[in-house]
Amino acid sequence: MGPRRRLLNRRPRVLKNTAAEADQFRLRAAVAFFFVLIGVVGLGFWYFRLQVWQHDDYAMRSEQNRVKLRPVVPGRGLIYDRRGRILADNVPAFRIEVTPSEAGDSEKWLPQLARVIALTPEDISRFEAERKATRGFKPIVLKLRVSDEEVAAFAVDRWRFPGVELVSYLNRRYPYGELFAHVIGYVGRIDTKDQEALGVNAGVLTHIGKTGLERSYEQQLRGQVGYEQIETNVDGRPIRQVGHVPAKPGADLRLSIDLDLQRAMVTAFGDMDGSAVAVDPRTGEVLAMVSLPSYDSNLFVNGISSANYKALNEDPSRPQFNRNVLGGGPPGSTMKPFMALAGLDSGARRAEDKILSTGEFHIPGQKRGYRDSHGGGHGWVDLRESIAQSVNTYYYKLALDMGIQKVDQYMLRYGFGQKTGIDLLGENVGILPSPEWKAKRNKKEGWYPGETVIAGIGQGYWVVTALQLARGTAAIADGGTLRQLHLVREIRTGYESPWLPKELNEPTRITDNPAHLQAVHEGMESTIHGGRGTARIMARGAPYRMAGKTGTAQKVSRKGNVSLNPHSLPYHLRHQALFVGYAPAENPTIAVAVVVEHGGYGGSTAAPIARKIFDAWLLGKMPEAPAGKDGKPAPTVAPLAVAPGSAPTVSPGQAPGEGAAVPAELQVVAVPVNGAWAKAVAMANARVAAQPGHVPQAAAGAESGLQANLPGYVPPPEPAADGAAAPARHDDALIEPNLDPEDDDVSPTVEPQR
């Protein structure tokens, strides 16, 4: 290409416009500055919002990251007997809690933890079930009651298990587990149903009252939860406490029950099953109450094992069944004093009216008969002898003359067919036999006269509890005043607070005619002290007079004119033996109701048990344990004796093993109560007894436990120190008597006339 062509193809040269470039730069700089200014203003506004407007919110969040609230579970209220001896207390213990969100995969750390702390398959399965059912940030109890050795081992390896904590708590303990299982009950681990009832405390508390007084007084015994403010480091480990809201301990309960009388009652039964209630007729206080067989309530506190639970459930004697509260059955002849009083109050009978007992009673116009306990009858008897000799014919005719409606009217007034007011949940009201009651269950059949007749001797549709029998008997003993039965005598809300009496319902009157009560009383007294009384075996060697009534609720009727020996029957077909009574007869301070399952006759089985209970309360004499079914002495419950200087002791607030002594009046002996618990029980009792407001154990009578409550009674002299023989013992009422076939009532030989 030539020079000319290159010149023609060259682009024209553009000259630089500095003014335009300057304008463009200024425009771009202004736009950038504008956006920077907006960003700075926005950032300043954001900082202002964080530091000023939302300062309180973020400061609180920051504090929450540094300070955590930890709930403080209150100490559960203690339970005492009437003389201040501890029946339910709290002991320090440790448990393992796991926060799943912090612990991580359980398949990795759980096997390693099991090498440090003994974990049962039940512990693991329970933990896994709760872990799946709850949120990951909520602690879950893996194991309760970690031993001291396990606590030390875990403290060494704690760094290996994030989210796993060792938590201290107070564990519930029952020093006399089997002795009071059906009275005090037990606390157990909280389940889903309990969580709904607890509300805000559901995630804090681990135990709740399940049965007995522990359940009835759960609100008072539980107390109020407190909180601690704990400062933590970046790893969430606690550093120090920066504040707290103290927990309010639960209220203490003082029962009307006497520990020694309770023990005497169990010993009197030996190895027989049944129930018994002793009350003070002047106040309605329950002095002792047992349901046998029983069980160790300590087994349930931290979760009972499958083997133990299976053994209890498969026991045919049903040790978990509270016979006094949930049970009941036909009362037999123990209803006759009440029927006699109803006959007098209703005007159907006078005390001196006599009825001829020929051995068999017939409803007018019917051929079928209802028999007396004597094949030949009792002859002419009045009200007093009808009670003493337990004459069925008298009450067959009385019930028929009164009619079932009037019988029900008076029995309801005497406390049957209703609750006694005992402070235990689920009390059975029993059954008052009536046409209305039967119509609800059998609309095809009406009410027959024969059903009225057998109702007069406590048979048929009757269902009565031992509590109702004890309450009604106490009303007769107390001049006709029917009182509310109660176990809790006093309540206090703190160690420094005074004991306040429990509020009770107003008592009612069962009769306003003292002469009627006196006639019934004389008949009941003749039952024991009369020449033909069915419980005259009780009076032998007694330094006081008693009044009572035996009863035998039959399960099978006799054949023809042949009386059945209940002890010859199969065990499950033997009669229920009953006794109700009170003593001393002239000024009663104790009334009892005794029911012996499959015991045979009331006069030969239940009455001797009642005599032993009377002797224990009035004379301060512990009964001797009768021979068991295998010929060996039946097991008894050992006492917590008090003897200065005979056992290791601790001072108030001092941990066991620190070596200091307590005053002599607070020293206790570690005796075998529930096996390995004994030593800890003794030490705990010494500590608690020394706290302000607590009655020292020694003040309750250190020598023999039982105290005589019979005015003017002087105990027999002790054996001489040189080994000379003690005076001969004349109290043969404690010896098992021969069977008395004239004891009580029997069922009719045939079904009631339709």
Q: Residue 380: what residue type?
A: W
Distance CA 721, CA 710 (A): 27
∠ CA 347-349-352, rounded to 5°:
130
**How far is residue 7's CA from residue 459's CA, in Å, rounded to a whole number?**
142
Name the phi and psi angles at 666, rounded to 5.
Answer: -110, 5
Enumerate residues 6+ apart whose C-beta is below 8 A from 715. 619, 620, 708
Euclidean distance between CA atoms 73 and 225, whole angstroms: 5
Q: What are phi and psi of 253, to 5 degrees?
A: -115, 135
Residues for the chain: how many in total? 754
Q: Answer yes or no: are the C-beta atoms of 167 and 238 closer than 8 Å.
A: no
- C-alpha distance across the termini of the chain, in Å: 146
Tokens of 552: 């035998």
Please give the Cα distance from 329 to 334 (Å, whole number): 12
- CA-wise closest residue to 671 among 706, 702, 710: 702
Active site residue 333: yes
Beta bridge partners of 486: 285
Quick check: 330 and 464 in contact, CB under 8 A?
yes
Locate all alpha helices (DSSP H) within 433-540, ordered by sequence: 435-441, 449-455, 466-477, 514-529
Peptide bond into 293 cis (omega under 30): yes
CA dist., res. 716 & res. 726, Å (int): 9
Q: How far apart are CA 476 and CA 548, in angstroms?
A: 10
Rounded CA gap, 244 and 222, in Å? Answer: 19
Opening angle at CA 563, ends 557 and 564, nearest 5 = 65
Rounded Cα–Cα distance for residues 205 and 216 (Å): 18
What span, in angstroms and rounded, lies between the C-alpha atoms of 739 and 577? 12
Residue 363 and residue 400 in contact, taking contact as beta carbons nearer than 8 Å? yes
- b/e per residue, 546-562, with b = 16+ CB within 10 A? bbbbbbbbbbeebeeee
In degrees to the nearest 10, what's the CA dihedral of 294, 184, 590, 341?
-80
The single residue of 256, 294, 333, 434 carrying the catalytic annotation is 333
The DSSP string of 560-604 is: TTBPP-GGGS-GGGSPEEEEEEEESTTS--EEEEEEETT---III
DSSP string, 659-677: -----GGG------SSGGG
Query: 68 forms bridges with which residues in the sheet?
Result: 230
- State the catalytic residues: 333
